[in-house]
Structure 1
Amino acid sequence: MNDKIDNSPVSNGKALFWLVVTTVLWGGSFVFNKIGFREIPPVMFLFLRFLLATIVMGLICIPRLRQVNLEIIKKGGLLGMALAAANLSFVIGVNGTTVTRAGFLNNLFVLIVPLLCFIIWRDKVDRLTFAGIFLAAFGIGGLASGGGFSHGDLYSTICALFIAIHIIAVSRLLRSGDVYLVTLSQFATVTAIGGILTVILPEQPFHIGPVSAGALLYCAIFPTVICFTLQNTFQRYTTPTRAGLIYTLDPVWSMLGGFVLLGERLNTREWLGCGLIFGAVAVPLLVKLSIERRAVGHYRSQTSE
């Protein structure tokens, strides 16, 4: 159990910095989605976002396109369906609640991943995770008592489930193959699903002005294409526990963005609910990180004797 990869070309500090940058960009997506929805309906915004992301990723992948095969398309298609479900519930959730509440509810995926692994594969779930789930339930209750539990809150919680499903699917399906091409296939799948839904759903008026166009461009480039690149480049140079702990910063940035750019405010019970959810996710990871460090220290002391 190494706290970093031996002979790694990237230091822990550099990996930490870029993964934190990733959380900042992800947190910003909550705010810019909310801003974009003022002029563009959520599902159409989703379609246009991934259409742009597919074009950009396609340009990046031009030297690799000859390597596309049925396996890559199949993997990308399966992952894309999970990603589409996560993003569809995300846009509906953000549209129906505050970005602060959506950010903390989305972050529940950290607890849902091990729970799903237990349900599907009977993987062992430690007591810390169960304690976190128990604490998160109180946090959701705090949010509900502080301002009700809207359909947006419900979809933001459902989004956490689909994020967890997507993460598990990635870990199972991306053990081989070109990550960039699979990602391109993922983005194209989400674009196709978003396009179909845009056609099927009742037509809604929309207008793409300078502000919504900027929000759309941000969401297509930064939390989609760039975050993918940063995550896949630097996450491998740290432990899963550290990475998970870094990703708990997502709702912090979305909360700050909501405060500064959207004027959102929380009442006392909402603060309590968000704090409990944050603690439910972060505290088990902090304890696990402490255990990892002690184990590494013990291993090094044994090998140095």
Structure 2
Amino acid sequence: MKGKMRNNILLMMTAFIWGSSFVAQSTGMDYIGPFTFNSVRCLMGAAVLLPVIKFLDRQKKSVRSIERGKGKRLLLGGCCCGVLLGVASSLQQVGILYTSAGKAGFITALYILIVPIIRIFLGKKAGLKIWAGVALAVVGMYFLCITKGFAIGKGDLLVCICSVVFSLHILVIDYFSPRTDSVKLSCVQFLISGVMCAVPMLLIEKPSLEEIFAAWMPLIYAGVLSCGVAYTLQIIAQKDTDPAVASLLLSLESVFAALTGWAVLGERLSAREMSGCVLVFTAIILAQLPEKGRKVREDG
């Protein structure tokens, strides 16, 4: 029981760090552009994971932790995940320029619904609760994002697309993670994403070192805590935690995004937008509840 309680606390800490990082992403762009922010934070995340990898390798008591043939798989998986992460995080970061951190957090969390829908096309069945969650999410998104004249805001649209790309990112990680070292996979993907975002950073934004140093606090929070620490906490906690319980706890990210946006940035949601948030969060929770008579985790 103590172990389960510890893991649940770690997962809630992970959700809080990820949710509150939307505030860091928003405030960071007071000093630097979105591509600069993403490039630096991802490179910082990769650097933070290097000592973690060294520590885990020592724990395994293995001189060479990458077996023959796994090096190429790690590189391929890291590149695929890194490209998707770079695209998704860029869409999200630019979207936050035009929408609130709280709304971005709730919209991004829709990946929990989008993933099982995509899996239908891969031969995985979705239960009734998934479809009920999708229906609730659609209504919630309407209240949250659609303005007068049935027009969706630019920032909300970008974050919606970002949620779809994050869904693909999760599925690619689901494929490569069991086949290679997950922490090293994360490190490589952060490195690829950081280098990828550095291209538009240098071509379009051309930041100075002074501007980057001015954003040191949001960058450290989003890079070290969100990319490095939170990911490591998730790995540790999910080893002995029921996947459904873990998903429920991690879905609190959207709640923490809204709460920290309100507490730190003074963001306010209208009654209509708040209703949308409640419906989207209810849909996320509903999607994670296991169907009766079915295994929580399907084979294959």
Fold match (TM-score > 0.5): yes
- The correspondence for 1:261, drawn from 258, 261, 264, is 264
C-alpha displacement of 1:200: 3.2
Moved more, 203-212 or 248-257: 203-212
Q: Residues 31 and 99 of structure 1 are in contact (CA less than 8 Å); yes or no, is this contact kept in structure 2? A: yes
Match of 2:276 among 270, 273, 278: 273
> What CA distance in whole angstroms lies between the structure 2 residues aligned with 1:252 and 1:224?
19
**Aligned residue number for residue 134 of structure 2:** 133
Instruction: Look up the match of 1:93.
Output: 95
Q: What residue is the counterpart of 2:242 in the other structure?
A: 239
Residue 42 (str. 1) matches residue 34 (str. 2): yes
Q: Report if aligned partners of 1:90, 1:156 keep a CA contact under 8 Å in 2.
A: yes
Q: 1:40, 1:206 within 8 Å by CA — same for their partners in 2?
A: no
Residue equivalent to 1:117: 119
For 1:73 and 1:145, how far apart are their aligned partners in 2?
A: 41
Deviation, structure 1 residue 224: 0.4
Question: 1:32 aligned to 9, 24, 32, which one?
Answer: 24
Counterpart of 2:45?
A: 53
Write out per-residue CA displacement over residues 194-248 of structure 1, whole angstroms, 9 at most, x where no aligned residue.
1112123354678537762111111111110011101111113122211111122
Over the aligned positions, Cα root-mean-square deviation in angstroms equals: 2.5
1:146–1:270 contact (8 Å) kept in structure 2: no
Change (3 A) 1:113 1:256: same
SS of structure 2 residue aligned to 1:96: coil
Unmatched tracts of structure 2, length 5 or more: 58-62
Aligned residue type for 2:42: F
Which letter does structure 2 place at the counterpart of 1:72? Answer: L
Alignment of 1:78-89 (within 5 A): 78-89=80-91
Q: Which residue of 2 aligns with 1:190?
A: 193
Amino acid at match of 2:167: A
1:15 equivalent in structure 2 = 7
Q: C-alpha separation between the residues in 1 aligned to 2:43 and 2:83?
A: 15
Q: Structure 2 residue aligned with 1:74, among 67, 73, 76? A: 76
Worse-matched range after superposition: 199-208 or 146-155: 199-208
Structure 1: distance between partners of 2:288 and 2:181: 31
Q: Equivalent pairs: percent with the same residue? A: 26
Letter in 2 for 1:90: Q
Q: Is the 8 A contact 1:33 1:219 kept in 2?
A: yes
Structure 1 residue 179, shift from structure 2 partner: 2.0
2:15 is matched by which residue type in structure 1? Answer: T
Cα distance between partner residues in 1 of 2:295 and 2:79: 40
Please, what TM-score do these two structures have when normalized by structure 1?
0.85
Q: 1:73 to 1:67 in 2, by over 3 A?
A: farther
How far did residue 62 of structure 1 move? 4.6
Structure 2 match to 1:105: 107
Structure 2 CA distance for partners of 1:179 and 1:145, relative to 1, 3 Å: closer
**Count, aligned residues:** 284
Counterpart secondary structure, 2:152 = coil
Distance, in Å, in 1 between the alignment partners of 2:218 and 2:245 is: 30
**Counterpart secondary structure, 1:39:** coil
Specify the SS of the correspondent of 1:237.
Answer: coil
Q: Which runs of 5+ in 1 are unaligned?
A: 1-7, 297-305
1:110 is displaced (CA, Å) by: 0.7
* Structure 1 moving runs of 4+ over 6 Å: none
1:160 aligned residue:
163
| C-alpha distance after superposition, 1:54-75 (max 9, x if no partner) | 2222344357596563322122
Taking the aligned partners of 2:276 and 2:209, their CA distance within structure 1 comes to 35
Q: Does the 8 Å CA contact 1:146/1:268 hold for their aligned counterparts?
A: no
Supply the distance in 2 between the matched residues of 1:246 and 1:59 (Cα, whole angstroms). 27
Query: d(CA) in 2 for partners of 1:228 and 1:295?
Result: 26
Quickly say closer, same or farther: Cα 1:211–1:21, change in 2 above 3 A.
farther
For residues 127-167 of structure 1, give each alpha carbon's deviation from its aligned partner in whole angstroms, at most 9, with x where no partner exists. 11111111111111112346863111111111211221111
The answer to whether the 8 A contact 2:19-2:105 is kept is yes
1:93-121 residue CA offsets vs partner (Å, 9 max, x unmatched): 222200111011011011001001112x1
Residues in 2 aligned to 1:285 and 1:74: alpha-carbon distance in whole angstroms = 30
